[in-house]
């Protein structure tokens, strides 16, 4: 019996969600009229009119061969008719918050890996991979309904497999890889599909005649260690077998909790805006309470009728957690915002950041 119990403890169900063509999809949400056209998000370096690089592009633009990292000048040659937009990080962070809040509701532990992706540990939340698949489908649906964006999700027995699985069918994909399917799933994939196998390692493996993960799995541990050193060699060996024990870890201090909502109509009416701000403040406060966190910074987020997202923030000297502080600061920031910006508002948001506290204690809200 103890052996079986042990085995059960070791089996995990991990989900990885990655938003599709994230920055470009955010812009499509804000400006529905560009949907269907090729959209290219650019980081302008400012040196000359079109100097800089492509940050990402939607799938229509990718058909023209436009890729992240490409010079903007080159992208304009490939698709002169595309919509070229500058990055608007404030917008993407706001939308990212909305997505992470939904993921958090479903997940035991959440590890946000970047602005558009996160791991969720579902072990204990679901009993098997079938149930995990249904949960993943609900997450996708809720993100589509509430945030208006599609994502791709992978589910597997560990982070390594879940991450490859989320990338397997994009956009709007859902791929579940059960423990006994891992080897078969990985075998035909490129070695560079493994997060952790970079360009250099990939090239060296290619020179050794190894292109797929299955081919790498056939190399001996000694060969891998000889080529790549002990640490990397052992890691490659494990990775090629789809083995990965790294835990899903919630990173502290990096977080923020935000809520954004669309106003019933575009307005500059302070009473209407404060109404929204107060109700958003309550939502934010409830989430803080559930996660037993305090904050040092409060932000008001305004999205005007020109679709631009702007933020005003205030930082306190010490972390606190009370609703009145959020309401008061967010309300004052909203007033200041209206003084500085003269367009009607379309959406408003309240966000707290610089989070602190927690560790060890779990609260009822988490279960």
Q: Name the residue nearer to ligand DGT (CB basis): 17 or 161.
A: 17
Exactly one of 116, 121, 244, 250 binds Ca ion (CB under 5 A); that residue is 116
- Region 16-75 residues binding Ca ion, contact defined as CB under 5 A: 18-19, 22
Structure tokens at 229: 């050193």
**Minimum distance of Ca ion from residue 189's CB (angstroms):** 18
**Minimum distance of Ca ion from residue 19's CB (angstroms):** 5
Structure tokens at 323: 């609703």
**Please, are residues 351 and 284 in contact by the beta-carbon 8 Å criterion?**
yes
**Minimum distance of Ca ion from residue 270's CB (angstroms):** 38
Could you give the CA distance from residue 188 to residue 84 in angstroms, rounded to a whole number?
36
Contacts with ligand DGT, 179-218, as mask; x by CB under 6 A: ----------------------------------------
69 binds ligand DGT (CB under 6 A): yes
Active site residue 117: yes
Could you give the CA distance from residue 357 to residue 349 in angstroms, rounded to a whole number?
23
**Minimum distance of ligand DGT from residue 262's CB (angstroms):** 23
237 binds Ca ion (CB under 5 A): no
106 binds ligand DGT (CB under 6 A): no
**Minimum distance of Ca ion from residue 25's CB (angstroms):** 9
First to last CA, the chain: 28
Name which of Ca ion, ligand DGT, none residue 119 binds, using a CB cut-off of 5 to 8 Å depending on partner kind.
Answer: none
Could you give the CA distance from residue 161 to residue 218 in angstroms, rounded to a whole number?
18
* From 28, 60, 98, 117, active-site residue: 117
Name which of ligand DGT, Ca ion, none residue 69 binds, using a CB cut-off of 5 to 8 Å depending on partner kind.
Answer: ligand DGT
Q: Could you tell me which stretch among 19-27, 222-230, 323-331, 335-343 binds ligand DGT (CB under 6 A)?
A: 19-27
Structure tokens at 353: 């950041």
**Minimum distance of Ca ion from residue 119's CB (angstroms):** 12
Name which of ligand DGT, Ca ion, none residue 56 binds, using a CB cut-off of 5 to 8 Å depending on partner kind.
Answer: ligand DGT
Exactly one of 27, 30, 101, 117 binds Ca ion (CB under 5 A); that residue is 117
18 binds ligand DGT (CB under 6 A): yes
Exactly one of 16, 30, 40, 55 binds ligand DGT (CB under 6 A); that residue is 55
Torsion (CA) 212, 218, 222, 225 in degrees, nearest 10: 20
70 binds ligand DGT (CB under 6 A): no
The site for ligand DGT (CB under 6 A) is made up of: 18-23, 43, 55-56, 68-69, 116, 170-171
Active site residue ranges: 117
């Amino acid at each position: 019996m103890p052996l079986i119990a042990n085995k059960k403890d070791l089996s995990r169900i991990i989900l990885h969600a990655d938003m599709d063509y994230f920055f470009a999809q955010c812009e499509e949400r804000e400006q529905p009229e560009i949907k269907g056209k090729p959209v290219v998000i650019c980081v302008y370096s400012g040196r000359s009119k079109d100097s800089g690089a492509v940050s990402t592009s939607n799938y229509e633009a990718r058909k023209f061969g436009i890729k992240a990292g490409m010079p903007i000048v080159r992208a304009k040659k490939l698709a002169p008719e595309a919509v070229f937009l500058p990055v608007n990080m404030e917008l993407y962070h706001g939308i990212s918050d909305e997505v992470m809040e939904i993921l958090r509701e479903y997940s035991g532990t959440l590890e946000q890996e970047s602005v558009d992706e996160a791991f969720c540990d579902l072990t204990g939340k679901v009993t098997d991979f079938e149930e995990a698949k249904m949960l993943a489908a609900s997450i996708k649906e809720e993100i589509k309904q509430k945030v208006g964006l599609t994502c791709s999700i992978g589910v597997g027995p560990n982070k390594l497999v879940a991450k490859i699985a989320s990338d397997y069918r994009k956009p709007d994909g859902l791929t579940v890889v059960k423990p006994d399917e891992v080897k078969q799933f990985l075998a035909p994939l490129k070695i560079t599909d493994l997060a952790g196998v970079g360009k250099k390692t990939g090239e060296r493996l290619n020179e050794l005649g190894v292109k797929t993960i299955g081919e790498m799995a056939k190399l001996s541990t000694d060969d891998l260690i000889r080529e790549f050193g002990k640490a990397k060699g052992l890691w490659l060996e494990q990775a090629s077998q789809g083995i990965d024990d790294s835990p899903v870890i919630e990173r502290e201090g990096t977080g923020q909790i935000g809520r954004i909502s669309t106003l019933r109509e575009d307005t500059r009416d302070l009473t209407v805006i404060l109404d929204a701000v107060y109700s958003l403040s309550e939502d934010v406060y409830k989430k803080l309470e559930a996660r037993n966190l305090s904050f040092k910074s409060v932000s008001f987020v305004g999205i005007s009728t020109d679709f631009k997202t702007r933020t005003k923030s205030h930082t306190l000297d010490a972390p606190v957690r009370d609703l009145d502080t959020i309401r008061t600061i967010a309300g004052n920031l909203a007033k200041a915002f209206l003084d500085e910006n003269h367009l009607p508002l379309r959406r408003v948001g309240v966000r707290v950041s610089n989070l602190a506290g927690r560790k060890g204690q779990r609260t009822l809200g988490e279960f």
